[in-house]
A and B are shown apart, each in its own frame.
Chain A
Amino acid sequence: MANIVSVQNVSKNYTLGTFVVPALRGVSLDVEEGEFLAIAGPSGSGKTTLLNLIGCVDTPTEGIVRIAGKVTQTMSERERTRLRLHTIGFIFQSFNLVSVLSVFQNIELPLLLQRSAAAKERRTRVEGLLDRVGIREYAKHRPSELSGGQRQRVAIARALVTRPQLVLADEPTANLDSVTGTNILDLMKELNRTEKTTFIFSTHDARVWSYASSVVRLADGKLVDRVSAEEAVRLGGVGGLPQNPSART
């Protein structure tokens, strides 16, 4: 299988006034197409920073990030946006739906930005995904009229509507109760299986690891190791890693 993501010796520093805060230090990671990869680690370990770099939302201070074979830091902002639109889907912890649009319109939005699909095709795709995530009857509703789980289903549908090669999910179950969280993970897993879409998600929820094909463990901005889901569960806690009391990066 080819690598959809290749992170080589990547570091990312943030500057706060005169202080340089290292968020990631020399991380290397390859992700094959079709993987269902979890990134585990305590708060401040660098999970979100790594997702940002993989999602072309940010560029590394050092090292190389390749997405679908393309080196992201040499791309222009416009090209990175294009890459996000066509290759990557995003699922956010807080769902991040556009409040003024209906469920249908939220899901359709990336297709409209792509400007490649005709109205009929867009409708077919959106309705197909509405069925897949089980919220067909809410198509005309506004996000504010939905529960947290329903909103996350909308977010998943939006992430998948462009048929991306890679879906990045940042703590997708953090704002959901355990039953809803499990349902969402089941859905993601099923889509991973049926659509062959690569999923990378960050989490510090041990229940989620069991769904992953493998778990990458981060601590203090460094990649500790990459273990199987069973091993991660066995290690317990946040993957057996020490908790970092500082804020998420």
Chain B
Amino acid sequence: MRGYFDTLKVIVLIAFRNLFASWLKTLIVGGIILFGSMLVVVGTALVDSVDASMSRSIIGSVAGHIQVYNAKSADELAVMGNFQMEGADLAQIDDFKVMRDAIMTVPNVKDVVPMGLSGAMVPAGNTVDVMLEKLRDLVRRKQAGEDVRAAIESQKDHVRQIVGVLSVDFANIGKVLSERAVSSDEREAIRRATAPGFWNEFDKDPLGTLEFLENRIAPLASDAEILFLRYVGTDLAAFSRSFDRMKIVDGTTIPPGKRGFLFSKWIYEQQVKLKTAHRLDDIRDAIVKRGKTIAKDPDLQRQIKLNTTEVKEILLQLDSQQVAMFRDKLQRELGSKESDVSKLLAEFLRVDDSTIMRRYRFFYDELAPSLTLYRVRVGDTLTIKAFTRSGYVQSVNLRVYGTFAFEGLEDSHLAGELNIMDLVSFRELYGFSTPERDKEIQAIKASAGLKEIDRDKVEAELFAAGASDDSATPEKPNSIGDAEAALRSLSGRAKLVKRENESYDPAQLEQGVVLNGAVIVKDPRQIRQTMADIEAAGRKAGLTLKAIDWQKASGLVGQFVTMIRAVLYISVLIIFAVALVIINNALVMATLERMAEIGTLRAVGAQRRFLLGMLLVEALAVGGLFGGLGSALGAGIVAILRVVGIPAFNDIFYFFFSGPRLHPGLSVTNVAIALTIVLVVSAASSIYPGILAMRVSPRQAMQSDE
């Protein structure tokens, strides 16, 4: 044994001496290895850290560790969507309780959260509609005997102001485009609403005038917004228990047993907030959080341009008093004598790097209190219309209880894309029945005088003598839950029943239909086994469950890390392929230069494996030394990055970093991977030179000069 050690010693000695003898070559080869190993350590540490952060983001925001859905589904589940509005086409799981009970038999499962994912377009109304609705309400109150004259006058004044803004707007359209760009009907409507006697007419016939304003003037405002909302229907209590990063930002959570809607704070800011205010927020955040400047950033310049050209959004909200107030404040702030508020607003919003902070504060301190910053406010009722699975349009009115965010992911659109509604309302929108719904359908049927008749007797029932004109025979819907939609489609008159205050029996959460479930596990290291156990438990309970891990469940987002890892490994592969070729060439050159020495070693009794060992040690020494240095350097870089943190330069990275900065960690595995790759490449690169060396005949020693 000692003899082997001594031989190894001489091999190492020769190898090292050779490395020092051709130090320049060693440095070049070593430099490549150093860079490669450093890249592997830093790269794998970063990717692992992003992987861990992203898993925290995905697991903690909606996916859970495992998602379970019906294996018979047409699509694969993607809880974060595949950048599509509509959700995946999933087959239903009839009874959540059966699924839950089956899954809970798996020892590693901590909790199961029922879910359903879908999307809808929600009309949020326009400013004129809102103002006219207020005026109509006041008129009704007046007719009921309430003394609301002052309020009516003020609201009239506001509507007059709006009509004035629209009149100027349409005059400009006529100038900029052509007279034909404004139709004669539109021109006539504007002319009538701005005529001197119009508001006297209002006093005589307020409701008739309001109808004219609602039907002819409001559509001209064209600032109606459609909200694109993706939502998850769930059991709020189970959801907030399992996803403890969820916090309520505004308002309250949906009370147990109540129907309701929670906006994601991110969506609320992005889609519901006054566009001008939102753009100002964005500009400020880009400067403060990401160090951008307006002078150099075309995107910020574009946002400023939009703000200066879309002041109508603000003007429509102002009555004449507010217009005067805005004029005064803006004139003082800008030191301007301009009297046109739209021009003053445009000037005010034309910010640069020197004025943005002051004007941002001024906007929120002086102007915003007079504005409605959010189209939908906490406490409002939101009408959500969505297509059921079988293609009917279904609506529910839901009270907005508040907004929520996931702690640490407030600025991430990926974590903030999903809103939340109660599971019972989700089922209705998706076309599944509830006991309350069944009762309601019966009531509608009774009030509409509907009765169910046999398909074979349709003709006799409809056209025979005695068949009443107002009876109708609805087609039996495919799904009981579609009945109301079918009825409304038939009659066109059925009124949507307001549901926002409705309660439901919490037991319905447990027993109804769900599309998928988020599983929280006790030990995340056993996810793979747990998935298999869940599917097996499903089979035992007669369910066709498919379990997928959080990464797969998150759709394309989850594949991001895999993609980065692939890019990293390809880069590493290229670097080390180059390193392999260079080390190989260097060793081949060294072998050819040392033919006499190798021949001598063979002549004095060195076996071939000794020579192979010598070259192997030489390559491994370079690899080990520089790979070690590179790994140490990489570890140092990761340690610095851990302290300093890598800023998330956009909201996607905010999600991937699970917060505003990534503080990467280093594991032994990162260094081990780097050293293993380096040593394998080094060893591989010594194979060909080793074969060359082994072929050197001891005769070479006799034929050469030293």
A119 near B705 with CB under 8 A, answer: no
Size bracket of the B interface: 20 to 34
Residue of A nearest to B19 (CB): A100
Q: How far is the CA of A248 from the CA of B542 in the complex (A)?
A: 91
A101 near B17 with CB under 8 A, answer: yes
Q: What residues of B have a CB within 8 angstroms of the CB of A85 in the complex? A: 604-606
B706 near A95 with CB under 8 A, answer: yes
A99 near B597 with CB under 8 A, answer: yes
The answer to whether B602 has its CB under 8 Å from any CB of chain A is: yes
The answer to whether A75 has its CB under 8 Å from any CB of chain B is: no
Residue of B nearest to A144 (CB): B706
Q: How far is the CA of A105 from the CA of B17 in the complex (A)?
A: 12
A86 near B605 with CB under 8 A, answer: yes
Q: How far is the CA of A57 from the CA of B605 in the complex (A)?
A: 10
Please pick, from B2, B6, B610, B701, the residue contacting A90 in the complex, using a CB distance under 8 A. Answer: B701
The answer to whether A84 has its CB under 8 Å from any CB of chain B is: yes
- Knowing A57-B699, A96-B596, A115-B3, the reply to whether A90 touches B603 (Cβ < 8 A) is yes
The answer to whether B497 has its CB under 8 Å from any CB of chain A is: no
- A72 nearest CB across to chain B (Å): 13
- A190 nearest CB across to chain B (Å): 22
B604 near A90 with CB under 8 A, answer: yes
Q: What residues of A have a CB within 8 angstroms of the CB of B603 in the complex? A: 55, 57, 84, 90, 96
Q: Mark B274-292, 1 if CB is under 8 A from A, else 0.
A: 0000000000000000000
B3 near A116 with CB under 8 A, answer: yes
Please pick, from B21, B601, B698, B704, the residue contacting A94 in the complex, using a CB distance under 8 A. Answer: B704
Residue of A nearest to B20 (CB): A100
- A16 nearest CB across to chain B (Å): 15
Q: Mark A117-150, 1 if CB is under 8 A from B, else 0.
A: 0110010000000000000000000010000000
Please pick, from A82, A96, A112, A119, the residue contacting B701 in the complex, using a CB distance under 8 A. Answer: A96
Q: What residues of A have a CB within 8 angstroms of the CB of B10 in the complex? A: 101, 105, 108-109, 112
Residue of A nearest to B704 (CB): A94
Residue of B nearest to A100 (CB): B17
Q: How far is the CA of A112 from the CA of B3 in the complex (A)?
A: 7
The answer to whether A110 has its CB under 8 Å from any CB of chain B is: yes
Q: How far is the CA of A145 from the CA of B605 in the complex (A)?
A: 25
Q: What residues of B have a CB within 8 angstroms of the CB of A115 in the complex? A: 3-4, 6-7
- Knowing A85-B605, A114-B605, the reply to whether A57 touches B697 (Cβ < 8 A) is yes
Q: What residues of A have a CB within 8 angstroms of the CB of B7 in the complex? A: 112-113, 115
CB within 8 Å of A: which of B233-282?
A: none
Residue of B nearest to A248 (CB): B703
Q: How far is the CA of A92 from the CA of B704 in the complex (A)?
A: 9
The answer to whether B70 has its CB under 8 Å from any CB of chain A is: no
Size bracket of the A interface: 35 or more
The answer to whether B18 has its CB under 8 Å from any CB of chain A is: yes
Q: What residues of A have a CB within 8 angstroms of the CB of B13 in the complex? A: 100-101, 105
Q: What residues of A have a CB within 8 angstroms of the CB of B606 in the complex? A: 81, 85, 113
Q: How far is the CA of A116 from the CA of B7 in the complex (A)?
A: 11
Q: What residues of A have a CB within 8 angstroms of the CB of B604 in the complex? A: 84-85, 89-90, 109-110, 113, 158
- A115 nearest CB across to chain B (Å): 3
- A207 nearest CB across to chain B (Å): 22
The answer to whether A52 has its CB under 8 Å from any CB of chain B is: yes
Residue of A nearest to B694 (CB): A77
- A176 nearest CB across to chain B (Å): 13
- B613 nearest CB across to chain A (Å): 12
Residue of B nearest to A143 (CB): B706
Q: How far is the CA of A108 from the CA of B602 in the complex (A)?
A: 15
Q: What residues of B have a CB within 8 angstroms of the CB of A143 in the complex? A: 706
Q: What residues of A have a CB within 8 angstroms of the CB of B98 in the complex? A: none
Q: What residues of A have a CB within 8 angstroms of the CB of B608 in the complex? A: 77-78, 81
Residue of A nearest to B600 (CB): A96
- A57 nearest CB across to chain B (Å): 4
- B20 nearest CB across to chain A (Å): 8
Q: Which of A52, A90, A100, A162 has the most CB of B within 10 A?
A: A100
Q: How far is the CA of A85 from the CA of B608 in the complex (A)?
A: 13
Q: What residues of B have a CB within 8 angstroms of the CB of A158 in the complex? A: 604
Given pairs A90-B603, A98-B597, A109-B10, 10 additional interface contacts (CB within 8 A): A57-B701, A90-B600, A90-B701, A94-B705, A96-B706, A109-B601, A110-B605, A112-B3, A112-B9, A116-B3
Q: Which 9 A-B pairs have the closest CB atoms?
A: A85-B605, A115-B3, A100-B17, A96-B600, A94-B706, A57-B698, A94-B705, A112-B10, A113-B605
Supply 13 A–B pairs (Cβ within 8 Å), ascending by A. A52-B702, A81-B607, A85-B605, A85-B606, A90-B600, A95-B706, A96-B596, A96-B597, A96-B600, A100-B21, A101-B10, A110-B604, A112-B7
Residues of A participating in the B interface, judged by any CB pair closer than 8 Å: 48, 51-52, 55, 57-58, 77-78, 81-82, 84-86, 89-90, 92, 94-101, 105, 108-110, 112-116, 118-119, 122, 143, 151, 158, 162, 170
